[in-house]
Amino acid sequence: MRHQARKRFGQNFLQDQQLISEIIACINPQNDDPLIEIGPGLGALTQPLLARVAKLTVIEIDRDLVARLQAKETPGLTIIEADALQINWEELAADRRLRLVGNLPYNIGTPLLLKLAQQANVLVDVHAMLQKEVVDRITAQTGTRSFGRLSVMIQACFEVRTLIEVPPEAFDPPPKVQSAVIRMVPHAEQPTTGELASLEAIARLAFANKRKTLRNNLKKHISDEQFVELGIDPGARAETLGLPQFFALAKLLYKGNTTPSQ
């Protein structure tokens, strides 16, 4: 029976075989890779992945799709019926680091990646299809319009690269927006949980009003003298700062281990 795509689960199924082959080639799965697919859906990526690896674990929230996958009794396939946002990646990884792949439901893309940033030390890499606009924000460079909180948080933990741009026709049903496949590889040195929390708070404040200067967005927390000490112009806007400067501000703000209010 044909599966009726569910909007609430962000179901846009890949149907372009050439594109699927390109994505698999980018992932370059090896036989004993600890591979996890988020949102297998009707198996567009699952089947070609399984042709390349001995074992594959998939995480799917839609119980009808889980039942379909289970009915196939595919050797090597482990199916977890769960919300990917609730997964504890450290627990799932046990003693090995994971390779994550997924044509992600667009409604969970950003929160999922922010969660992965907190557990990047248990990952080898992530290959994800997302809205192109989100990929552009993740990969944005300092000084560009798309550079913001998401760029800071993800780039603090991962090396990021756009691999493929994907038009709506590649999916059934077609989404309203362009998509793109991104590769994210964790940095060898990861920020500590505390550093990441501080960075998140400072980025949230600094980008609270993108048209305002750093002085205005951070006036309750950082003085002009402190900006100058760090070599930062308080009259500049947040998008002009590089990652090291965000880390420096985060360190300064949280020296006393206090959590500022907005």
Binding-site member from 19, 29, 34, 60 for ligand SAM (CB under 6 A): 60
Binding-site member from 19, 35, 56, 61 for ligand SAM (CB under 6 A): 61
Binding-site member from 59, 134, 182, 206 for ligand SAM (CB under 6 A): 59
Minimum distance, C-beta of residue 4 to ligand SAM, in the bound complex (Å): 12
Q: Cβ–Cβ contacts within 10 Å for residue 52, how many?
A: 15
| Stretch near ligand SAM under the rule CB under 6 A, chosen from 60-68, 88-96, 217-225, 241-249 | 60-68
Q: Cβ–Cβ contacts within 10 Å for residue 32, how many?
A: 10
**78 in the Ramachandran plot: left (φ > 0), alpha (ψ -120 to 50) or beta?**
beta
Binding-site member from 84, 98, 181, 214 for ligand SAM (CB under 6 A): 84
d(CA 80, CA 100): 14
Q: How many residues bind ligand SAM (CB under 6 A)?
A: 24
| 85 binding ligand SAM? (CB under 6 A) | yes
Query: By CB under 6 A, what part of segment 16-55 binds ligand SAM?
Result: 38-42, 44-45
The β-bridge partners of 126 are: 100, 184
Mark 123-142 with x for binding to ligand SAM (rule: CB under 6 A) and - for no binding: --------------------
Binding-site member from 62, 136, 200, 239 for ligand SAM (CB under 6 A): 62
Minimum distance, C-beta of residue 26 to ligand SAM, in the bound complex (Å): 14
How do beta strands 123-131 and 77-81 pair? Answer: unpaired
Minimum distance, C-beta of residue 140 to ligand SAM, in the bound complex (Å): 23
Which pair of structure tokens corresponds to residue 183?
């590769």
Task: Give residue for tokens 């992945």.
Answer: 49
Q: Distance of CA 199 to CAs 69, 158, 219, 230, Å?
A: 40, 14, 17, 16
How do beta strands 158-166 and 77-81 pair? Answer: unpaired
Query: By CB under 6 A, what part of segment 88-117 binds ligand SAM?
Result: 103, 105, 108
The β-bridge partners of 57 are: 36, 78
Q: Distance of CA 203 to CAs 195, 206, 242, Å?
A: 12, 5, 12
Residues whose CB falls within 8 Å of the CB of residue 251, separated by 6 or more in sequence, listed in order: 195, 198
Q: Give the nearer residue to ligand SAM in terms of CB position, either 11 or 217.
A: 11
| Stretch near ligand SAM under the rule CB under 6 A, chosen from 11-19, 120-128, 176-184, 218-226 | 11-19
Nearest-CB residue to ligand SAM? Answer: 39
d(CA 244, CA 105): 32
Minimum distance, C-beta of residue 63 to ligand SAM, in the bound complex (Å): 10
Binding-site member from 11, 131, 179, 245 for ligand SAM (CB under 6 A): 11
Instruction: Yes or no: say if 232 and 214 are a contact pair by the CB < 8 Å rule.
Output: yes
Residues that bind ligand SAM (CB under 6 A): 9-14, 38-42, 44-45, 59-62, 65, 83-85, 103, 105, 108
